[in-house]
C-alpha cells in the first residue's frame, strides 16, 4: 500500500456497476481511507454487491438521492469528506429514449446539487488544494464517429446524440464551469464502454450472457455493425485511481481500452465462450439465438477513445486483454446466477417488453 495521507471519500452511485467495482478496488487498496457510499438504490443499484464491506469500520452506506441538498450537506459535514468520486447517474441509453426527464434530473440537477454542496463545504474547509471532485463521464458526449475518423481526444467538440449523452454533457459542462469560476479542484474523465462483474442485465454483455443461459433470443440492433471501444471495469478503476492521485485539477482525461469491436462480432465471441464454458445450454450452438431487431433510434455508429493523454501524462494503460477479461466476465455471469436472477423483476420485464416488443 502506498504511503500517503488517508482520504475521506464520498462515492456516489457506489451500488451500481462501476461505482461498486470502484468501492471494492478502493477499500482493498487504501484500507486506511474512509469510504462513504451515497446511492439512491434505483433499479440499477444493488446493496448486495457491497455486502462484503458492510460492518467494516471504514465503510458506510447511505441510501439517498444526490438531488437532496440537505442530505448531501449533512454528509459532507458529518464525515468531513475531502474527495467526491461521482458515479451516480441514470446510465442506459435505451431508457433515456423512453423517458429523458429522469436523466436530466439525476445527471444534470444531481451533479449541480453535489457541486454546489461541495463548493460551500470546500470554502468552509479553507479551500484545500488537495481536495478532489472527480466527475466520471462517458465518451458518448463526443457523438458518433465515421469508419475512418480518428478516435475522440479531450479536445473533440461535444456533440451528444442521445438524451443520456446530452445529460452527461450538461453535467460535464457544469463541472468545468465550477472549476473555471470558483477554482474548485475538479477532474473529469470520459470513458468508453465498460464490462465486468456486477453490470445490470440491461446492458449488452450481461444481456447476451443471461439470454443465452435462459435460451432467449439475442437482440442485435440494426445491422450489428456499430462499433464500441471496450474496457474492463478493473482497468477503469485503476485509471480513476491514477487520475485522483496524479491528475491536474481542471483537466479532462479520456479513458479507453483501445479495443474497437463491432457489436455482432462481440456477440459471436460471447456465444463461443458460452458454448465452451456453460454445460447444458437450452440452445446449442447459442448463435442460433441471434436475432436482428429494429435499430435503436439515433443509434451512434462508432465510438473510439484516444487515451494517449492519460498514458503520456499520468502513465496509465489498460492491463487486461479483451480475450482474458471477457472470458472471466462470462464465467462470472455463469457462476453468479444468484446475483442477477433477482434483478429480472416485473419492472425489468416490463422495460424489456417496451424496448424489444
Ligand atoms: P449504473 O446504472 O450501473 O449505476 C448507477 C448508480 O447510481 C446506481 O447504483 C443507482 O442506484 C445510482 N443512482 C441513480 N440515481 C441516483 C440518485 N439520484 N442519487 C444517488 N444515486 C443514484 O451505472 P454505471 O454503468 O455504473 O455508470 C456509472 C457512471 O459511469 C455513470 O456516471 C456513467 O455515465 C459513467 N460511465 C459508464 C460507462 C459504462 O460503460 N457503463 C462508461 C463510461 C462512463
Ligand atoms: P449498451 O451496452 O447499451 O451501451 P451503449 O449504448 O452505452 O454503447 O450497448 C452497446 C452496443 O450494443 C450499442 O451499440 C447498442 C448495442 N445493443 C444491441 O445491439 N442490442 C441490445 O439489446 C443492447 C442492450 C445493445
Angle, alpha carbons 227-233-172 (nearest 5°): 75
Kindly indicate the confidence band of residue 94, based on its pLDDT and cuts at 50, 70 and 90: very high
Pairing of strands 218-221, 260-262: unpaired
Backbone angles phi, psi at 272, to 5 degrees: -60, -45
CB of residue 136 inside a 6 A radius of ligand 1: yes
Using the 8-state DSSP alphabet, how is residue 187 labeled? Answer: E
Number of helices (H), then strands (E), belonging to the chain: the values are 13, 12
Give nearest CA residue, ligand 2 atom 6. 93
Catalytic amino acids?
A: 139-140, 164
Distance CA 101, CA 106 (A): 9
Q: Which of 85, 91, 192 to mutate to test the pocket of ligand 1 (most atoms within 8 A of CB)?
A: 91
Neighbours of 341 (CB within 10 A): 13
We find that the CATH architecture of domain 8-199+230-258+298-320 is 3-Layer(aba) Sandwich (3.40)
Atom 24 of ligand 2, nearest CA residue: 204
The confidence score (pLDDT) of residue 228 equals 98
**Local confidence band at 2 (pLDDT 50, 70, 90 cut-offs):** low
Determine what percent of the chain falls in helix, strand and coil, rounding each to the nearest 5: 45, 15, 35
Residue 210 pLDDT > 80, yes or no?
yes
**CB of 204 sitting under 6 A from ligand 2:** yes
Ligand 2 geometric centre to CA of 303 (Å): 12
Cα separation, 97 vs 100, in Å, equals: 6
What per-residue confidence (pLDDT) applies to 4?
A: 87
User: What mean pLDDT comes out for the span 291-300?
Assistant: 98
Asked if the model's pLDDT at residue 7 lies above 70, the reply is yes
What is the number of the ligand 1 atom nearest to the C-alpha of 92? 2
* CA 221 – ligand 2 centroid, Å: 8
How large is the average pLDDT for residues 14-42? Answer: 98
CA distance 16 to 87: 8
Quote the ligand 2 centre to 318 CA distance (angstroms): 22
**Which residue's CA lies nearest to atom 22 of ligand 2?**
219
Res 357: pLDDT: 84
Q: Are 199 and 207 spatial neighbours (Cβ–Cβ below 8 Å)?
A: no
In the beta sheet, which residues pair with residue 232?
195
Residue 357 neighbours by CB under 8 Å, 6+ apart: none
pLDDT digits (tens, 9 = 90+) for 65-93: 999 999 999 999 999 999 999 999 999 99
Amino acid at each position: 500500500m502506498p504511503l500517503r495521507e488517508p482520504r475521506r471519500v464520498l462515492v456516489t452511485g457506489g451500488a451500481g456497476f462501476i461505482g461498486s467495482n470502484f468501492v471494492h478496488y478502493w477499500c482493498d487498496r487504501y484500507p486506511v481511507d474512509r469510504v462513504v457510499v451515497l446511492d439512491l438504490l434505483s433499479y440499477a443499484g444493488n446493496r448486495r454487491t457491497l455486502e462484503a464491506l458492510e460492518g467494516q469500520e471504514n465503510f458506510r452506506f447511505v441510501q439517498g438521492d444526490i438531488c437532496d441538498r440537505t442530505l448531501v450537506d449533512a454528509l459532507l459535514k458529518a464525515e468531513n469528506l475531502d474527495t467526491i468520486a461521482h458515479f451516480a447517474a441514470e446510465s442506459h441509453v435505451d431508457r433515456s429514449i423512453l423517458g429523458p426527464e429522469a436523466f436530466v434530473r439525476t445527471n444534470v440537477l444531481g451533479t449541480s446539487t453535489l457541486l454546489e454542496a461541495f463548493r460551500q463545504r470546500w470554502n468552509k474547509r479553507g479551500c484545500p488544494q488537495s481536495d478532489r471532485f472527480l466527475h466520471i463521464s462517458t465518451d458518448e458526449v463526443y457523438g458518433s464517429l465515421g469508419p475512418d475518423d480518428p478516435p475522440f481526444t479531450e479536445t473533440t467538440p461535444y456533440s451528444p446524440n442521445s438524451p443520456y449523452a446530452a445529460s452527461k454533457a450538461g453535467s460535464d459542462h457544469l463541472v468545468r464551469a465550477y472549476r473555471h469560476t470558483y477554482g474548485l479542484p475538479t477532474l473529469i474523465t470520459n470513458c468508453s464502454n465498460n464490462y465486468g462483474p456486477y453490470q445490470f442485465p440491461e446492458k449488452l454483455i450481461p444481456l447476451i450472457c443471461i439470454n443465452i443461459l435462459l435460451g432467449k433470443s439475442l437482440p442485435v440492433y440494426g445491422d450489428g455493425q456499430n462499433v464500441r471501444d471496450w474496457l474492463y471495469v478493473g482497468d477503469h478503476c485503476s485509471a480513476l485511481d491514477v487520475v485522483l492521485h496524479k491528475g491536474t485539477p481542471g483537466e479532462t482525461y479520456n479513458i479507453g481500452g483501445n479495443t474497437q469491436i463491432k457489436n455482432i462480432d462481440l456477440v459471436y465471441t460471447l456465444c463461443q465462450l458460452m458454448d465452451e464454458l456453460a454445460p447444458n445450454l437450452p440452445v446449442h450452438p447459442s448463435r442460433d439465438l441471434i436475432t436482428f431487431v429494429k435499430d435503436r433510434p439515433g443509434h451512434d455508429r462508432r465510438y473510439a477513445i484516444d487515451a494517449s493523454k492519460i498514458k503520456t501524462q499520468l502513465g496509465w494503460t489498460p492491463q487486461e486483454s479483451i480475450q482474458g477479461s471477457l472470458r472471466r466476465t462470462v464465467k462470472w455471469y455463469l457462476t453468479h446466477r444468484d446475483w442477477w436472477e433477482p434483478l429480472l423483476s416485473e419492472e425489468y420485464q416490463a422495460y424489456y417488453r417496451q424496448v424489444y416488443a
